[in-house]
Amino acid sequence: MPSPELRFQWARLDDLSARDLHAALQLRSAVFVVEQNCVYHDVDDYDLQCWHLLAWSGKQLAAYLRVTDPGSKYPEPSLGRVLSAPAFRGQGLGLQLLTEALQRCATTWPGQANRISAQHYLLKFYQGFGFVPLGEVYLEDDMPHIEMLRPAA
């Protein structure tokens, strides 16, 4: 099945419409809280000081991630809350989303590395983008994670 045509929206919280924000938070909750059966505070103060990358297929939110500013969570810009909507999985959206995010990071913060706290089962996926594991696997919200760094270009 070919990948759907995506329209990317890169915005600060204050620049998102109420409907766009609702779609992002609803999808984050559906994936991280309900689907992964993980009770935690998904909406946090990082949402206030990060860039949100929404990937739209028509009027449906197909994928999402956020990027925290350097110095807010880690010294580097940090990608997080990376997800694809269940109806769009298996179509290469993760590749498109990460490619777009890393291009936006390179433009917004030239010459800086990127850091993630990745769910461990996605290790190889992120390694495909040049991320290198740092340290040992640890539990975050009862799920195995690993910190990874993508060196500056």
Q: What is the pTM of this model?
A: 0.91
Residue 143: its pLDDT value, please? Answer: 87
Residue 102: its pLDDT value, please? Answer: 97
Residues 141/120, Cβ–Cβ less than 8 Å = no
Going from the first residue of the chain to its last (153 residues), give the mean pLDDT of each consecutive group of 10, the final group possibly shorter. Answer: 83 96 86 66 82 96 96 95 92 94 97 96 96 95 93 89
Residues 139/145, Cβ–Cβ less than 8 Å = yes
Residue 37: its pLDDT value, please? Answer: 65
Whole-number Å distance between alpha carbons of 45 and 109: 21
- Give all domains of the chain, ordered by start, each with its CATH number: 7-150 (3.40.630.30)
Residue 1: its pLDDT value, please? Answer: 55
Residue 55: its pLDDT value, please? Answer: 97
Q: What is the DSSP string of 111-147?
A: T--EEEEEEGGGHHHHHTTT-EEEEEEEEETTEEEEE
Residue 131: its pLDDT value, please? Answer: 98
Residue 42: its pLDDT value, please? Answer: 67
Residues 53/67, Cβ–Cβ less than 8 Å = yes
